[in-house]
């Protein structure tokens, strides 16, 4: 059981590092909750791999700073699609 959790933590962290995805996107890919992903990469990862933890935290910090831009793009796309349907 313990090895499964450790493997999940490292797999999710490597995926975030490789794709620079958000916590929400990683949660969908690994079929776990956002809370689980957040807990895995924010607290548990630090015990297993400190250098990977630091890299993932930098990526998540960058995603956090860009979230207002993503939200604006999403809203714009939503209304553009709505206008096309009319």
Q: Which domain holds residue 46?
A: 2-85
Distance from CA of residue 66 to its chain's centroid? 13
Domain count across the chain: 1
pLDDT score for 85: 85
Q: Give the chain's mean pLDDT.
A: 91
Neighbour tally for 10: CB within 10 Å: 16
Q: pTM higher than 0.85, yes or no? A: no
Neighbour tally for 4: CB within 10 Å: 8
The model's confidence at residue 50, banded by pLDDT at 50, 70 and 90, is very high
Q: How far apart are CA 65 and CA 3, in angstroms?
A: 33
Tokens of 72: 């604006």
């Amino acid at each position: 059981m313990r090895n499964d959790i450790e493997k999940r933590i490292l797999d999710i962290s490597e995926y975030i590092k490789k794709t620079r995805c958000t916590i929400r996107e990683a949660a969908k890919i690994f079929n776990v909750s956002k809370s689980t992903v957040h807990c895995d990469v924010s607290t548990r990862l630090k015990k297993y791999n400190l250098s990977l933890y630091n890299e993932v935290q930098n990526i998540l910090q960058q995603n956090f700073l860009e979230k207002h831009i993503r939200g604006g793009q999403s809203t714009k796309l939503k209304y553009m699609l709505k206008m096309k349907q009319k």
